[in-house]
């Protein structure tokens, strides 16, 4: 009987010692989901249960963010943002996603460089650290295009060879001229379209630029094969 009394007394003492306040302090010191779950199981009616639930949810977000930061992949950050879009880490996750997408875009450009892709990158990511290199690429593209562009001949004069009201007629005459006088013309014949406010509305066939001597000699040679022409300022 005495032994039974001692056991009951000890049990009561242990129960008294296991106060909600003391266990709550222990749980907050451990600050883990398991610690808070254990507290809630032990003290389901405690005033600290609501705080325990809140902290458990916070810890879930923290652990999920730590996993995303450990992996550092686009998929990991997107998965985090999909699940915790309202969390304190959402803005940082979006920054990480933006940075990874930007860097992957740049890597694709380096693998297959073309002007349009670089221009899109510059427009999409104007603050990217790759912008100086992208600008150098665009400069190189512009220089290459300039070098590939045919150089216009020097000279202050041209020959006007014909004038037509329709582009079709002008193109037909151009083909004829190229056939009958390819060497005399010194270069390609150009079709100059009428200006929008022009009253005449004529399509003019003109030679490449020439010096005064070249223009006179070429026009003479063309007239010798019955082709009309006259010299105009460039």
- DSSP character string of 35-80: HHHHHHHH-TT-TTHHHHHHHHHHHHHHHHHHHHHHH--HHHHHHH
CA distance linking residue 204 with residue 153, whole number of Å: 19
* pLDDT at residue 28 in the model: 80
pLDDT level of residue 18 (50, 70, 90 thresholds): low
* pLDDT at residue 78 in the model: 95
CA distance linking residue 57 with residue 51, whole number of Å: 10
CA dihedral defined by 135, 138, 142, 143, rounded to 10 degrees? 70
Tell me the pLDDT tens digit for each residue of 20-73: 889 888 888 877 778 888 888 888 888 888 888 888 888 888 999 999 999 999
Tell me the pLDDT tens digit for each residue of 100-155: 999 999 999 999 888 999 999 999 999 999 999 999 999 999 999 888 877 777 88
Using a cut of 0.85, tell me whether the model's pTM lies above it. no
Domain ranges of the chain: 19-71, 74-148, 157-233
Give the mean pLDDT of the chain. Answer: 86
**Helix, strand, or coil (residue 160):** strand
**Chain Cα centroid distance, residue 35:** 47
Asked if pLDDT for residue 8 goes beyond 90, the answer is no
Q: What is the CATH number of domain 157-233?
A: 3.30.70
């Amino acid at each position: 009987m005495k032994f039974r009394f001692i056991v009951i007394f000890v049990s009561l003492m242990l129960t008294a010692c296991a106060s909600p306040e003391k266990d709550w302090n222990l749980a907050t010191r451990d600050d883990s989901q398991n610690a808070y779950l254990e507290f809630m199981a032990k003290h389901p009616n405690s005033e600290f249960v609501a705080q325990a639930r809140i902290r458990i949810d916070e810890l879930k977000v923290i652990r999920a963010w730590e996993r995303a930061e450990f992996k550092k992949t686009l998929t990991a950050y997107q998965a985090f943002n999909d699940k915790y879009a309202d969390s304190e880490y959402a803005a940082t996750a979006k920054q990480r996603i933006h940075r990874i997408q930007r860097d992957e875009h740049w890597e694709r450009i380096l693998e297959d460089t073309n002007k349009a892709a670089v221009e899109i990158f510059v427009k999409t990511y104007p603050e990217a650290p790759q912008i100086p290199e992208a600008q150098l690429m665009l400069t190189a593209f512009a220089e290459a295009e300039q070098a590939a562009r045919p150089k216009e001949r020097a000279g202050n004069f041209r020959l006007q060879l014909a004038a037509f009201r329709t582009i079709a007629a002008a193109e037909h005459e151009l083909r004829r001229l190229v056939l009958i006088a390819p060497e005399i013309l010194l270069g390609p014949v150009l079709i100059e379209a009428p200006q929008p406010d022009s009253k005449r509305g004529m399509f003019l066939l003109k030679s490449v630029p020439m010096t005064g001597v070249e223009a006179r000699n070429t026009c003479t040679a063309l007239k010798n094969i019955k082709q009309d022409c006259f010299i105009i300022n460039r």
